[in-house]
Amino acid sequence: MKTNDINDGTTMREEMRERIIGGAGFFAALDQSGGSTPKALAQYGIAADAFANETQMFALMHEMRVRIMTAPSFTGERVVGAILFERTMHREVDGVPVPSFLWRRGVVPFLKVDEGLQPEKDGVSLMKEMSGLGPRLAEAARLGVFGTKMRSTIRQASRNGIAAAVDQQFEIAARISRHGLMPIVEPEVLIDSPDKEAAERMLRAELRRRLDDLPGDEQVILKLTLPTDPGLYVDLLEHRGVARLLALSGGYSRDEACRRLAATPGMIASFSRALTEGLKVTMSDPEFDAALERSIAAIHKASVKT
């Protein structure tokens, strides 16, 4: 690699970091994987009998993602970042690798790196062992990806279980940071949890504990369920270890997720299903673009609190 290439890469990452920390917008979660892809396609109007195997399924999903990423409204003007599934990271849009295509539109690319969840234990589902994480991170960095995302889930207000979930997230986040990537830490409190508010308060305490232990120059992005108490995470916004605070929709409708988000100080959206709600494969391009514009406008408004 030439010196000027190194300088260009450094400048690009600095620009991406500025967008992530200060950009007035939200994240698009385009990272549906094996388990969630059939549901996402069904919502889009593609039934399970439309594909015979996984290869065909992911090809259809990529077509949907390309339609979103190439829409006139999907630019860095309102979409700060986009989270990608690994197969998407390796594909192209109009002959351009997806991460490069996104950045040309001002959208910072992230990669989902977790490989699903373990069976629930002690009220939480930890992440499965991540095979080949090092090479995956190196490849993401090579392709111009800025950061990563990984998800675990919390169902019960179990202090030990929540501590284990947060510890696992931060231990892997440290490995990700050593590869020069920004980790998104996502311990999701399920919205149907019978102890949602209590679990969120335990989660906040555990997050604060691990944030306080971060080295002075290390940061993470937090992606959390919209809290029952809108002000619960306000103090985390000022923590030196927090680059940004994202909200996941968690199964709420777009209207409900946006209503809750607008009332929650400092959080911006990182929506998946709520972003694509109402988009259908049978729509003409003008119809599709208009529907996506309405979705992006609503989520952006709730994120920037205007």
Residue matched to tokens 């339609």:
67
Q: Are 62 and 285 in contact (CB under 8 A)?
A: no
The 3-state DSSP class for residue 19 equals: helix
CA angle 106, 146, 238 (to 5 degrees): 90
Burial of 24 (0-12, 13-18, 19+ CB in 10 A): middle
Options 112, 149, 186, 188, the catalytic residue: 186
Q: Are 21 and 246 in contact (CB under 8 A)?
A: no
Tell me how long the chain is: 306
Which residue(s) pair with 151 in the sheet?
186
Active site residue 186: yes
Give the H/E segment covering residue 97: strand 96-97
Options 112, 149, 196, 223, the catalytic residue: 223
CA angle 41, 46, 49 (to 5 degrees): 110
Residue whose C-alpha is closest to residue 136's, from 118, 150, 123, 122? 150
Residue whose C-alpha is closest to residue 27's, from 38, 35, 16? 16
Burial of 282 (0-12, 13-18, 19+ CB in 10 A): exposed
Active site residue 280: no
Q: Are 238 and 244 in contact (CB under 8 A)?
A: no
H-only helix segments in 70-221 = 86-89, 98-104, 133-142, 159-178, 196-212
CA distance 120 to 112: 21
Residue matched to tokens 């999903």:
61
Which of the residues are catalytic?
A: 186, 223
